[in-house]
Amino acid sequence: MVRIVLQSEKKGMVQKAKIRSSYTLVKVEFPEDFKLSAPRVTGDFEYTRRGKTLFLNIKGLKWIKLLRLKSPPRLVIDAYLKSGIGKELPER
């Protein structure tokens, strides 16, 4: 599982965001423009931003669980992966 947390100072950004997932892509559409502070290299997924939309490319994505939290306003995306993806190999 990969957990992605998007935090905002505005409650409306989280409550009105539209989230869709398809294959390896999770699309997050915000109601207004936003500022993103995140490391460019995440390791578990890649992201790109176009206007008011954030695209998350998660290799081996099976399904997502979404939580909208209120204090502070956060959007939590739990991305569940196909079995065997993202697991480390056992040491020998």
The pTM of this model reads: 0.83
Please report the pLDDT score of residue 33 as a whole number.
Answer: 93
Please report the pLDDT score of residue 41 as a whole number.
Answer: 67
Mean pLDDT of the chain: 88
What does the alpha-carbon distance between residue 85 and residue 88 come to, in Å, rounded to a whole number? 9
pLDDT tens digit sequence for 31-53 = 999 988 887 767 788 999 999 99
pLDDT class for 89, splitting at 50, 70, 90?
A: very low
pLDDT tens digit sequence for 59-79 = 999 999 999 999 999 999 999
Find, among 21, 25, 24, 38, the residue nearest to 85 by Cα.
24
